[in-house]
Amino acid sequence: MTQASLVTNKKDNIDLVLQPVKDDSQITEASIHELIENSEFKSLYVDNGNIKNAIAELNSVLKPLQANKAGREICYQVLERRDATISITIDKDEMSAIAEISTALGGKHLTAKAILNSAQEAGVSKGFTKEQLLKLAHQAAKEPPGSIITGEIAHGKIAINGKNSKIKWLVQSAQDRILRPKDREDGSVDMRDLGDIICVKVGDPLAKKIMLTEGVKGFTVTGLPLEPLSGEDITLKAGEGTTISPKNDKILISTLIGLPRIIDNGMEVDPVYRIKNVDISTGHIKFEGSVIIDGDICEGMKVTATGDITIGGFVESATLEAGGDITIGSGLIGKKQDVEGQSLDNIKMSVCIRAKGDVFAKYSQYAEISCHSLRIENQMMHSIIDVEETLWLGSEEKANGKLIAGYVKAGKSVHAGIVGATAGSTTIISFSKKVDQMKEQLEDIEFKLKVDSDKSTELQLAVNKLKKLPTDKVNPEMLSKLVATYKFHTHRVGEILNEKEALEEQIQAYMASVYIEATEKIYHSVQMIVGDFQDKSRREYGPTKVNYKERKIHFNPIVNT
């Protein structure tokens, strides 16, 4: 019978050697593959074409032979030792390089050094890690012959932008202090003890400028440097009662004894008037600077300050006006009155608070408050509020307070845990103040548009009238002036139309940006007004965000993800 064997040749590859003998046995491609699979050479690359050629030639040699006669030997290389191969792919952003390895077929495995060399030849020059190269080489050597292994071999580094310069406060403001009252020995806190920390002395450091950083450069795997954006610089601002330290131009120091107050990128120090309580024995207080009241402000009293007003206790049916912030350690208590259904013009609360800065209190009832932003920690009832930006009911971290009835004018948003009352008392929240202001601007623009449009029409009629006259009766200089003036006003009309369109877009964007957020629930009879659009809740809702969109007020559930 024909003998088939696998023999190593001079190239260290494997030949299929056939010694033909004509008999009833038959050598096929399948039997050759079985021979290879059972041999020590099964991991080598199989040349199926040469196997076919060997079988074809064997059949050709056997055909003319007589039975049991041997023919000439047939030899074909059918197995080849092939080394592992590698291809390198660089991502479009050049921030990663991936190696694809076809593992060795009886040949040489790729070393970490060989992988590195291939990557470098492909243009990868940075971002390699020795551990990753070794890991990939080791993995490829362990996988079955002819397997495809992929792995990242280099990774770029994203540039890290620099940090902006910032101001670090070195002293507490009055509000910071009152919101963090003094600890007693038994572990409780003394809400009335504001301590001496609020006042600063001459030369005390108030604020420090933290310098910007340039950032950290990055790179792509091809070696392209990535430049970071440098941080933005700010100027340390020396307000009233402060100056830049002569010893360190990054430190702001106090020039007088007083109350520190935070301003944009700096601090001011106000002269301080400090008193225990304000009542009929002290009279009203009017002070150029800041006022600290350790206790309460009693009924009928008035406190006016150009700076901050800080109160350790409560305010009862009194009036406060501040050029800065007003911070109340306890609450605001006004006289109860029926405000349901009445016009705001007919309501006068016994507590009146006005501040150009922010206002903080623990609770408020039957009070009128006007300020930049307002935070009431626990509960606000039947109050009239006008805030330029935000009304926040709750702790600093979470809006979990209660907004019960009353009328709120807000510029940006209103946040509370619960909005409205179980009794159904009306809670009105309006965002129309700013809309009305912008509409007034729009009316002014439309007036200017009419004036210039009318003037343009008038001038055009005059120009046309002159052009109809005989040439000898037309004053060329007058005609030229009319035409120039007409062009000026028509150009103005175009500018005003653009201004009108921009303001109309601004109004719509603002109306879509304002909202009410109730983190726990909204009761019925909570009304939202945005410009000419309004709607109110007619049932109880869970956590809800109320906003304006597409000419309607929407009550949307807040879904925590």
The answer to whether residues 10 and 63 belong to one domain is: yes
Query: Following CA atoms 320, 323, 329, 333 in sequence, which dihedral angle do they give, to the nearest 10 degrees?
Result: 20
pLDDT at residue 159, as a whole number: 95
Q: Give the pair of three-digit tokens for residue 323.
A: 């050029």
Q: Which residue range forms the structural domain that includes residue 173?
A: 166-217+231-270
The answer to whether residues 146 and 45 belong to one domain is: no
pLDDT at residue 174, as a whole number: 60
Q: Is residue 415 classed exposed, middle or buried when 0-12, 13-18 and 19+ CB atoms within 10 A define those classes?
A: buried
The answer to whether residues 376 and 289 belong to one domain is: yes
d(CA 307, CA 320): 12
The answer to whether residues 509 and 521 belong to one domain is: no
d(CA 280, CA 300): 9
Residue 226 lies in a domain: no
Query: Following CA atoms 416, 422, 423, 429 in sequence, which dihedral angle do they give, to the nearest 10 degrees?
Result: 30
In the block, tokens 């699979």 appear at 37
Give me the count of residues in the chain.
Answer: 561
How many structural domains is the chain composed of?
5
pLDDT at residue 35, as a whole number: 94
Q: What angle do CA 309, 415, 514 make, to 5 degrees?
A: 105
423: three-class secondary structure by DSSP: coil
Which of 107, 140, 111 minimizes the C-alpha distance to 41?
Answer: 107
The CATH number assigned to the domain holding 253 equals 2.40.50
Residue pLDDT tens, the chain, 561 long: 889 999 999 999 999 999 999 988 889 999 999 999 999 999 999 999 999 999 999 999 999 988 889 999 999 999 999 999 999 999 999 999 999 999 999 999 999 999 999 999 999 999 999 999 999 999 999 999 989 999 999 999 999 999 999 999 998 766 665 555 555 566 554 444 444 446 788 999 999 999 999 999 999 999 999 999 999 999 999 999 999 999 999 999 999 888 888 889 999 988 888 899 999 998 999 998 889 899 999 999 999 999 899 999 999 999 999 999 999 999 999 998 876 666 777 788 999 999 999 999 999 999 999 999 999 999 999 999 999 999 999 999 999 999 999 999 999 999 999 999 888 788 999 999 999 999 999 999 999 999 989 988 888 888 888 888 887 777 788 888 888 898 898 899 999 999 999 999 999 999 999 999 999 999 999 999 999 999 999 999 999 999 999 899 999 999 874
Write out the E strands in 313-404. Answer: 315-316, 319-322, 326-328, 331-333, 351-355, 359-365, 367-371, 374-381, 384-387, 390-393, 402-404
Answer with the one of 80, 108, 127 that is the final residue of a domain: 80
Answer with the one of 80, 98, 127 that is the final residue of a domain: 80
The answer to whether residues 177 and 242 belong to one domain is: yes
Q: Quick check: pTM over 0.85?
A: no
pLDDT at residue 24, as a whole number: 84
The answer to whether residues 290 and 373 belong to one domain is: yes
d(CA 552, CA 512): 10
d(CA 203, CA 242): 9
The answer to whether residues 148 and 111 belong to one domain is: yes
Which amino acid type is present at position 203?
Answer: G
Residue 547 lies in a domain: yes
The answer to whether residues 383 and 323 belong to one domain is: yes
Residue 224 lies in a domain: no
Strands 315-316 and 515-522, by their bridges, are unpaired
Q: Give the pair of three-digit tokens for residue 128.
A: 């390699």
CA 214 to chain centre: 22
The answer to whether residues 340 and 410 belong to one domain is: yes
Residue 175 lies in a domain: yes
Residue 161 lies in a domain: no
Handedness of CA 398, 404, 406, 407 (dihedral sign): positive
Residue 223 lies in a domain: no
Residue 342 lies in a domain: yes
> Phi/psi zone of residue 409: left (φ > 0), alpha (ψ -120 to 50 degrees), beta?
beta
The answer to whether residues 294 and 353 belong to one domain is: yes
Q: Give the pair of three-digit tokens for residue 41.
A: 């050479």
Residue 222 lies in a domain: no
3-class DSSP string for 230-280: CCCCCCCEECCCEEECCCCCCEEEECCCEEEEEECCEEEEECEEEECCECC
The answer to whether residues 327 and 373 belong to one domain is: yes
The answer to whether residues 357 and 446 belong to one domain is: no
User: Is residue 262 a contact partner of residue 308, using CB atoms and an 8 Å limit?
Assistant: no
